[in-house]
């Protein structure tokens, strides 16, 4: 069964948030996003309001998925890094663990070399947390069983309410 | 793969509209986008060709309200239906929580529908899913067309697991929300089982 739910707890989330917050400051970048490979935003730091984060997450995931497809076509496992250079802003995209994507947006107040350096360090820290979350996702009867799913008694009314009737 | 965030108390579900070229996948999510309350919807992202055929995907994020204190958010995607975009279709199914198969009711498209379901089964399998168990809804679209095949015939050919089957005219919004709702029900019920 491929349905491995990604469950993230408060503590892990706070750790992720802290790491990318530090990355944003240390790399003098504008915004840092942590996105799931399926296109869902996990955490963000910096001037988040300047960007449509949800679209960014989805397009980044699409971009990475397409690049992964290209890598496989030519016999590579994956390309670990994507870099897009714009007139003002640049986009640095890298893979963290098996399912994380780190997106850094920076302008001339930083540099590619600095961003690279800081991303490398942050990635290692992020990866540790990701591995824990991924491990739990695989270990279905394990730690996941320790907490109660909040969705034990969903009724038709719950679903009707979601659709506003 | 549902992403449950206990820190922000959010559940994110990815729903994919699948089906043959021009069956009305993009029309479904365009209609949802036009109707949705502005506070609840994000931007509609469409990666399309000059002629409005889907090239990679359409994407629409929707905030649905709460269940058991968790904010439920749907991420709706469409695949490109044209046969030669198969590699892209496979990528978009990655990590999906539910699939809506949009069938084109026109008699001339019967075979295209059948092929597309077979293609869906293959691509789901390559992503580690089983078409027989994943939350799944069948939409019979273009019911307004004079060339539409009878519902019974379509049912016999396309319905294979007693999945919810909904008749639709997507460009007029008929059946669009019902389809999404049937999918949401399956996904959330599935969540409570796992
Ligand atoms: N008559 C009628 N036309 C429809 C209906 N639904 C969609 N259409 C039309 O069919 C055409 C194709 O619709 P799209 O939604 O772009 O099709 P698609 O499935 O996204 O196609 P691809 O992106 O190529 O896979 C458009 O001109 C729509 O207006 C329907 O229920 N009835
Ligand atoms: Mg389309």
For residue A140, tell me if it sits in a domain.
yes
Q: For chain A, say whether B146 makes contact (Cβ under 8 Å).
A: no
All residues of chain A having their beta carbon less than 8 Å from the beta carbon of residue B2 are: 3, 5-6
The CATH number given to whatever domain includes residue B167 is 3.40.50.300
Under 8 Å CB pairs connecting chains A and B tally to 129
Sequential pLDDT tens for chain B (194 residues): 566 777 778 888 999 999 999 999 999 999 999 999 988 888 899 988 888 899 999 999 999 888 888 889 999 999 999 998 999 999 999 999 999 999 999 999 999 999 999 999 999 999 999 999 999 999 999 999 999 999 999 999 999 999 999 999 999 999 999 999 999 999 988 877 76
pLDDT at A146: 45
Nearest atom, ligand 1, residue B48 CA: 23
- Considering every ligand atom shown, identify the ligand nearest to the alpha carbon of residue B80 and give its number: 1
pLDDT at B34: 95
**Quick check: CB of B53 below 6 Å from ligand 1?**
yes
**Quick check: CB of B80 below 6 Å from ligand 1?**
yes
The alpha carbon of residue B104 is apart from the nearest alpha carbon of chain A, in Å, by: 26
Residue range of the domain that includes B133: 3-193
For residue A46, tell me if it sits in a domain.
yes
For residue A2, tell me if it sits in a domain.
no
Of B136, B129, B194, residue with least CA distance to B166: B136
**Residue A117 and residue A92 in contact, taking contact as beta carbons nearer than 8 Å:** no
Cα A134 to chain centroid, rounded: 13
Of B138, B47, B84, residue with least CA distance to A58: B47
List of E strands, chain B: 3-5, 10-18, 45-48, 54-67, 70-78, 98-104, 136-141, 165-167
For residue A139, tell me if it sits in a domain.
yes
For residue A135, tell me if it sits in a domain.
yes
Best mutation target among B7, B10, B42, B173 (most A Cβ atoms within 10 Å) is B7
pLDDT at B190: 84
Give the residue ranges of chain A where pLDDT is below 50.
Answer: 1-4, 141-146
Reported as a single tens digit per residue, the pLDDT across A93-132 is 999 988 899 999 999 999 999 999 999 999 999 999 888 8
Give me the percent of chain A exceeding a pLDDT of 90: 45
Rounded Cα gap, residues A140 and A120, in angstroms: 31
Helical spans, DSSP H, in chain A: 10-26, 53-73, 112-138, 156-162
For residue A4, tell me if it sits in a domain.
no
Count of structural domains, chain A: 1
Hey, are the CB atoms on A13 and B127 less than 8 Å from each other? no
For residue A99, tell me if it sits in a domain.
yes
Question: Residue A30: which region, alpha, beta or left (left: phi > 0; alpha: psi -120 to 50)?
Answer: alpha
The CATH number given to whatever domain includes residue A97 is 3.30.450.30
For residue A55, tell me if it sits in a domain.
yes
Residue range of the domain that includes A136: 10-162
pLDDT at A114: 96
B105 CA to middle of ligand 2, Å?
16
All residues of chain A having their beta carbon less than 8 Å from the beta carbon of residue B189 are: 154
pLDDT at B110: 97
Count of structural domains, chain B: 1
């Amino acid at each position: 069964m491929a349905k491995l739910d990604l469950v993230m707890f408060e503590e892990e989330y706070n750790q992720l948030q802290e790491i990318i917050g530090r990355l944003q400051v240390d790399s003098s970048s504008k915004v840092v996003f942590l996105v799931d490979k399926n296109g869902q935003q996990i955490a963000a730091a910096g001037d988040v309001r300047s960007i449509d984060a949800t679209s960014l997450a989805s397009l980044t995931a699409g971009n990475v998925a397409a690049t992964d497809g290209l890598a496989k076509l030519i016999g590579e496992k994956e390309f670990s890094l994507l870099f897009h250079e714009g007139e003002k802003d640049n986009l640095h995209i890298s893979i963290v663990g098996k399912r994380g994507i780190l997106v850094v947006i920076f302008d001339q107040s930083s540099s590619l070399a600095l961003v690279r350096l800081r991303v490398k360090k942050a990635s290692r820290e992020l990866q540790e947390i990701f591995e824990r979350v991924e491990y739990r996702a695989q270990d279905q009867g394990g730690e996941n069983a320790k907490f109660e799913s909040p969705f034990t008694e969903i009724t038709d009314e719950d679903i009707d309410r979601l659709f506003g009737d | 793969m549902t992403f449950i965030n206990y820190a922000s108390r959010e559940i994110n579900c990815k729903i994919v509209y699948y089906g043959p070229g021009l069956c009305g996948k993009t029309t479904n999510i365009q209609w949802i986008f036009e109707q949705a309350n502005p506070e609840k919807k994000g931007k509609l992202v469409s990666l399309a060709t000059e002629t409005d055929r889907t090239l990679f995907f359409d994407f629409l994020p929707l905030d649905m309200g709460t269940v058991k204190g968790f904010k439920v958010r749907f991420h709706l995607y469409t695949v490109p239906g044209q046969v030669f975009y198969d590699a892209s279709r496979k990528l978009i199914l990655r990590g999906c929580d539910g699939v809506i198969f949009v069938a084109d009711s026109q008699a001339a498209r019967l075979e295209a529908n059948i092929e597309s379901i077979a293609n869906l089964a293959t691509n789901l399998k390559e992503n580690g899913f089983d078409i027989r168990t994943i939350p799944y809804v069948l939409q019979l679209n273009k019911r307004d067309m004079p060339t539409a095949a009878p519902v019974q015939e379509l049912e016999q050919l396309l319905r294979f697991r007693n999945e919810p089957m909904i008749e639709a005219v997507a460009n007029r919004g008929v059946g669009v929300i019902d389809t999404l709702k049937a999918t949401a029900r399956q996904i959330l019920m599935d969540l409570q089982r796992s």
